[in-house]
Amino acid sequence: MFIYFVSFLLLSFLTNFVFYLTSEENYSIVWKKTLTSTFNFVGILLLIGIIVFFLN
Amino acid sequence: MEIKKKNIYISAILAFIFPGLGHIYVGNLKKGLLFMLILVSLFLIGLAMKGGIIVLDEDLFFISRLLQICHFFNGSMFFITLLFSKFFGLGIEFGDITYSYYEIGQLFIIISALLNILIIFNAYDLAKNMFCEKEIKE
């Protein structure tokens, strides 16, 4: 389970980073947007995890 | 400042051959190296988790075909792995479906390929914008 979580976190971070790197020129904006998106993704992932846990 | 004209097709083809090469060709060395590092590491993590680059499906269902096309967009990494595996008889191109994290490995390789498509378009776009800037200045 831990490997799944770390993998999704890594994938989310790198995907967002590459995505924002292609569209932005300023690196500080790229970092800021990447971290915000990754944080949102982790939040949604945890929320889904909690819902599934309680439904079971 | 004079902007050197870059061929849009060469930038796209270079980006396909190896992720990041298109950006280096256009003159964006830092971004090119970052893309190279990220995509190669994603691909290698995928292979380490025993994900495959050849889809095993005898009927070749529609989604499997799409998946196979997607794997192809890893460019030279796909062909190098294939050749390396065939040459040394490793059989890593199919992955190991019995391994616990096979799907995650597969996911890493697929995302590396999909990001490469984005990078190909970005390199093409950058070269095209430079071409337009040159025309405007002239």
Give the gap in angstroms from C-alpha B87 to the nearest C-alpha of chain A. 31
d(CA B11, CA B110): 22
pLDDT at B122 over 60: yes
Interface touch A11/B108, C-beta < 8 Å: yes
Q: How many Å lie between the alpha carbon of B121 and the closest alpha carbon of chain A?
A: 9
Is B111 within 8 Å of chain A by CB? yes
Q: What is the mean pLDDT of chain A?
A: 90
pLDDT at B1: 53
Identify all chain A residues contacting B45, using CB atoms and an 8 Å cutoff: 10
B108 touches chain A (CB under 8 A): yes
- For the CA atoms of chain A, what is the radius of gyration? 13
pLDDT at B4 over 80: no
Residues B50 and B47: their CA atoms lie apart, in Å, by 5
pLDDT the model gives residue B138: 60
8 Å CB contact of B31 and A3: no
Per-residue pLDDT, A26: 87
Residue A18 pLDDT > 70, yes or no? yes
pLDDT at B110 over 90: yes
First to last CA, chain A: 16
Q: What is the pLDDT of residue B56?
A: 75
The ipTM assigned to this model is 0.84
Contact B38 A14 (CB under 8 A): yes
Average pLDDT taken over every residue of chain B: 85
Q: What is the DSSP letter of B98?
A: T
The pLDDT > 90 percentage for chain A reads 59
pLDDT at A56: 82
Angle at CA of residue B136, ends A29 and B6, nearest 5°:
70
Whether chain A has a CB inside 8 Å of the CB on B117: the answer is: no
Which chain B residues are closer than 8 Å to A11 by Cβ?
42, 107-108, 111
pLDDT tens across B70-96, in order? 888 988 888 888 888 888 877 777 777
State the pTM of this model.
Answer: 0.87
The distance of A25 to chain B (nearest Cα, Å) reads 10
Spatial separation of the C-alpha atoms in residues A31 and B29, rounded to whole Å: 19
Q: What angle do CA B120, B122, B128 make, to 5 degrees?
A: 105
> pLDDT at position A13, please?
93
How far apart are alpha carbons B62 and A25 in whole angstroms? 38
B67 has pLDDT over 90: no
